[in-house]
Structure 1
Amino acid sequence: MNNDTDFEDNDTLVDDDFRCGYVALLGRPNVGKSTLLNALIGVRLSIVSHRPQTTRHRILGISTKPNGQILYVDTPGLHRGGKRAMNRSLNRAARAAVMEVDLAVQVIEAGKWTDEDSAMYQAVAEQKGLPRLLAINKVDLQKDKGAMLPFVAGLMEKHPFDDVYYVSALKSKGLDGLEKGILKRLPEQPAIYGEDEITDRSERFLAGEMVREQLMLRLDQELPYATTVEIEGFQDRPDGVAEVHAVIWVERDGQKAIVIGAGGAQLKAIGTSARRAMETMFERKVFLKLWVKVREGWADDENLLKRFGYE
């Protein structure tokens, strides 16, 4: 077990053969899985906010090194209590990811282990023979580093992992050791994706996520959870500008008014920030057109969820 809370690393790869495989980043909502994915691949691919359930889709992040290619699968957080069809869809996506990977990394928050963490552990344990690592995130927020050792010892006694890594995804600390621990457990096989690829997701999908990120960041209380984004059009114009047409779906007229804001100010701010994020990611100018539409009960409609891309 790697007990180094100062982020030093003593792991070494078992040999120089090239390794490649899928790795699920799993855990309850808001433990930092998406921040960890972004830090591991060096690109802000998965959207991030302080709100639980920001991640609603499976996101593949590709990290290619001289000695291997790691295919990180970021998943929705496994949670309890949600009774809507969308909540069930998110839980299915999280559980399904465990069945499709070569290794599982369960991410938890330093010093905390909840019933939702236990449920995620059990979901991984059902896959017999699947290697599993524990990544304890937000270690930088722990003032008493010595308290981590008894916490981990008690945790490993009840929930054994193949190894434990202490990381700070936000500050990119401890990631080299985690990456090496992952690589040495992956199958020896050639790369699946090209060395310049960072995801299997299309620009169309990423555009929708960038709009939704702004909804998560800018809207108060429960409203972000009543919204979703559908990209109705995405095309490159002859002048080299990417033209994107997006619909923000809400469940009630009152929510529509809040998203638009007084004089359209809120919608304009959402669009401006999302457009700038797209231009950074897509490396070209973007023309973004937003609409806000009402569809009552969309989060309980299985057919609509499929249309909106929920797996």
Structure 2
Amino acid sequence: MTDTNSSTNAVPTHSGFATFVGRPNVGKSTLTNALVGEKVAITSDKPQTTRRAIRGILNRPAGQLVIVDTPGIHKPRTLLGQRLNDLVDQVLGDVDVIVFCAPANEKVGPGDTRIAHSLDGYKRAVKVALVTKTDVATREQITERLLEVDALREDWSAVIPVSALTNDQLDVLTDELLALMPIGPALYPAGVVTDESIEDRIAEIIREASLEGVRDELPHSIAVTIEDMSPRENSDLTDIFANIVVERDSQKAIILGRGGSRLRDVGATARAQIEPLVGTRVFLSLRVRVAKEWQRDAKQLGRLGF
């Protein structure tokens, strides 16, 4: 006798895509990493750190949630800036849920209002609002921010305060987002935390290390390419050769530091994160090269993967 009840009575699982939007540096990448439970997106206190649509994948008994981390929405000053905004627009048009983020320790301003209102253009997606960084705000600030964010739109499915650093309310957020996803099977195999290639993840780790301590105007000018990556014969080493690309000779000097000291620090910082990712010891060779005004040059942007 065939048992037909097991499939009939099975609880349906949900799967789909959500993305975080907001001004640069409101904690979107940190939140993505905290939800996934592993570092899949680099973080920095420099605005516009994220430059690609990076997917972090969460598997839960209730289903699979794919978080798409995108660049912050900003007024573009270069061709790169415009392409990043275009990327955000494309992602917003494709996802199931759009999660608007505003930090608890900063008043809601014109930029937040503009972004929240711009979500009118994405009718398909359910909208959720987050007040982030509650760990650095007082209870009064959090309450004030929740009221300000709630007033930005009438169609929020939920308004949730969270902290990525202390994991406060992240389970609540995950449950809420999964419940809003369409019913369907998992989109990625179990155990996969991102669809980023190993080379892309390594390039981002090197860029993150390069961003530490640089002046405000320099971060936008830094790109990283992986020239070659291969296991060394008869050794447990993996050889990685990478370029750090800047726009001017003066920027190259900043990255190198006196006698190459800063570049050595960048290499040591990056290697410490790359080795667990690769699973072997790593020989990391970094070279700094200049590509004049690459952010404004369509051909150079294409070569750099934008």
State the TM-score, normalized to the length of structure 2.
0.91
CA distance in 2, matches of 1:181, 1:283: 35
Which SS does the other structure have where 2:81 is aligned?
helix
Kindly indicate whether residue 99 of structure 2 is the aligned counterpart of residue 105 of structure 1.
yes
Identity %: 34
Partner of 1:286: 282
Given the alignment, which residue of 92, 111, 114 partners 2:86? 92
State the TM-score, normalized to the length of structure 1.
0.90
Kindly indicate whether residue 264 of structure 2 is the aligned counterpart of residue 268 of structure 1.
yes
Partner of 1:228: 223
- Give the C-alpha shift of residue 173 in structure 1: 1.0
- CA RMSD, Structure 1 to Structure 2 (Å): 1.7
Q: Which runs of 4+ in 1 moved over 6 A?
A: none
CA distance in 2, matches of 1:62, 1:120: 25
Greater mean alpha carbon deviation, residues 214-223 or residues 182-191: 214-223
Partner of 1:70: 65
CA distance in 2, matches of 1:65, 1:154: 32
Which SS does the other structure have where 2:180 is aligned?
coil
Given the alignment, which residue of 29, 35, 39 partners 2:34? 39
Which SS does the other structure have where 1:16 is aligned?
coil
Output aligned runs, 1:1-311, within 5 Å: 16-80=11-75, 82-110=76-104, 111-143=106-138, 145-160=139-154, 161-238=156-233, 239-310=235-306
Greater mean alpha carbon deviation, residues 103-112 or residues 182-191: 103-112
Q: Is the 8 Å Cα contact of residues 98 and 123 (structure 1) preserved in structure 2?
A: no
Greater mean alpha carbon deviation, residues 55-64 or residues 157-166: 157-166
Which SS does the other structure have where 1:170 is aligned?
coil
- Give the C-alpha shift of residue 141 in structure 1: 1.8
List gaps (5 residues or longer) in structure 1: 1-14
CA distance in 1, matches of 2:88, 2:299: 20
AA aligned opposite 2:100: Q
Which SS does the other structure have where 2:250 is aligned?
helix
CA distance in 1, matches of 2:231, 2:117: 46
CA distance in 2, matches of 1:221, 1:147: 28
Which SS does the other structure have where 1:288 is aligned?
strand
Residues 126, 288 of structure 1: alpha-carbon distance in 2 compared, 3 angstrom cutoff: same
Which SS does the other structure have where 1:242 is aligned?
strand
CA distance in 1, matches of 2:122, 2:98: 10
Partner of 1:3: none
Q: Is the 8 Å Cα contact of residues 26 and 104 (structure 1) preserved in structure 2?
A: yes
- Give the C-alpha shift of residue 309 in structure 1: 1.7
Which SS does the other structure have where 2:151 is aligned?
helix
List gaps (5 residues or longer) in structure 2: 1-9
Residues 17, 304 of structure 1: alpha-carbon distance in 2 compared, 3 angstrom cutoff: same
- Give the C-alpha shift of residue 73 in structure 1: 0.2
Residues 158, 47 of structure 1: alpha-carbon distance in 2 compared, 3 angstrom cutoff: closer
Q: Is the 8 Å Cα contact of residues 78 and 116 (structure 1) preserved in structure 2?
A: no
- Give the C-alpha shift of residue 151 in structure 1: 4.2
Count of equivalent residues? 294
Greater mean alpha carbon deviation, residues 35-44 or residues 224-233: 224-233
